[in-house]
């Protein structure tokens, strides 16, 4: 069995077919709009009249000048009269009576001078001694002639004692009245040892009185 093929068709491109379909659809829509517009408002079908535009030349307007106003001088403000000073109140003196009194003028205060700080109290003083047992000072020798003659009396000597406990100088402060007794006292004390005086813990030079009594009863 023999088959016959139809001649092959040359199809149009897709974009051409779309453009043709769009044009056809647009014509149909336009026709519908025109028909609908004429049916509803026939007056729209009339052509609008042409507008006439006339050109005018611009006339220059002269600039507006403002009148120059000269400021009028202002009058000076009136000066205020100076305020009167407040009245001075004067206290009226009370009438004096016989019982009134006046206050004597007080002396001007004197500047008080700063007083120096009081000195520190001195260290305690201990006088020299000659009667300590450990010194072993010998007693004066009673002169034999004074015993036979019965001479008695009291001799007081002033002894200058050094810081080492020795006698520096001896003077007769009170005589016994007999030369032999006075000389016996001087001879004995010249060989004595003393406990020196002290100022606090320091040994110092000082003076001490040494009384000696010569009596025949002893």
The percent of residues in the chain predicted with pLDDT above 70, rounded, is 58
The percent of residues in the chain predicted with pLDDT above 90, rounded, is 37
Per-residue model confidence (pLDDT) at position 204: 93
User: Is 70 among the domain residues?
Assistant: no
Per-residue model confidence (pLDDT) at position 131: 87
Pairing of strands 202-204, 206-214: unpaired
Per-residue model confidence (pLDDT) at position 121: 82
Q: How far apart are CA 196 and CA 129, in angstroms?
A: 7
Q: For residue 126, what are its two tokens?
A: 């201990």
For the chain, how many structural domains are there in total?
Answer: 1
Average pLDDT in the 69-93 region?
59
Per-residue model confidence (pLDDT) at position 7: 52
Q: Supply the range of the domain harboring residue 178.
A: 137-214
Residue 208, number of CB atoms within 10 A of its CB: 18
Least confident of 28-37, 49-58, 133-142: 49-58
Give a three-class secondary structure readout of the chain.
CCCCCCCCCCCCCHHHHHHHHHHHHHHHHHHHHHHHHHHHCHHHHCCCCCCCCCCCCCCCCCCCCCCCCCCCCCCCCCCCCCCCCCCCCCCCCCCCCCCCCCCCCCCCCCCCCCCCCCCCCCCCEECCECCCHHHCCCCCCCCHHHHHHCCCEEEEEEEEECCCCCEEEEEEEECCCCHHHHHHHHHHHCCCCCECEEECCEEECEEEEEEEEECCCC
Per-residue model confidence (pLDDT) at position 158: 96
- Contacts of residues 143-146 at CB distance under 8 Å and 24 or more positions apart, as own/partner, are 143/180, 143/181, 143/184, 145/180, 146/178, 146/180, 146/181, 146/184, 146/214
Per-residue model confidence (pLDDT) at position 144: 94
Per-residue model confidence (pLDDT) at position 169: 94
User: Is 143 among the domain residues?
Assistant: yes
CATH code of 154's domain: 3.30.2420.10
User: Is 27 among the domain residues?
Assistant: no
pLDDT beyond 70 at 176 = yes
Residue 124, number of CB atoms within 10 A of its CB: 9
User: Is 78 among the domain residues?
Assistant: no
User: Is 83 among the domain residues?
Assistant: no
The CA dihedral of 162, 165, 167, 169, to the nearest 10 degrees, is 20
User: Is 189 among the domain residues?
Assistant: yes
Per-residue model confidence (pLDDT) at position 55: 53
pLDDT, tens digit, 9 for 90 and up, residues 90-140: 445 445 554 454 656 666 767 667 777 788 788 898 899 998 888 889 999
Per-residue model confidence (pLDDT) at position 214: 93
User: Is 55 among the domain residues?
Assistant: no
């Amino acid at each position: 069995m023999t088959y016959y093929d139809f001649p092959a068709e040359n199809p149009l491109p897709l974009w051409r077919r779309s453009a043709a379909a769009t044009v056809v659809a647009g014509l149909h829509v336009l026709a519908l709009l025109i028909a609908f517009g004429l049916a509803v408002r026939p007056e729209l079908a009339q052509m609008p009249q042409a507008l006439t535009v006339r050109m005018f030349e611009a006339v220059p307007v002269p600039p507006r000048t403002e009148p120059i106003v000269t400021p009028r001088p202002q009058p000076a403000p009136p000066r205020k009269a100076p305020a009167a000073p407040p009245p001075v109140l004067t206290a009226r003196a009370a009438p004096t009576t016989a019982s009134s009194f006046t206050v004597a003028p007080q002396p001007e205060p004197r500047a008080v001078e700063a007083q120096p700080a009081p000195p520190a109290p001195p260290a305690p003083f201990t006088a020299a001694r000659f009667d300590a047992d450990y010194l072993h000072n010998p007693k004066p020798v009673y002169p034999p002639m004074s015993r036979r003659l019965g001479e008695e009396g009291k001799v007081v000597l002033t002894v200058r004692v050094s810081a080492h406990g020795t006698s520096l100088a001896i003077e007769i402060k009170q005589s016994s009245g007999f030369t032999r007794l006075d000389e016996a006292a001087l001879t004995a004390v010249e060989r004595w040892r003393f406990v020196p005086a002290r100022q606090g813990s320091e040994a110092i030079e000082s003076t001490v009185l040494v009384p000696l009594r010569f009596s025949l009863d002893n």
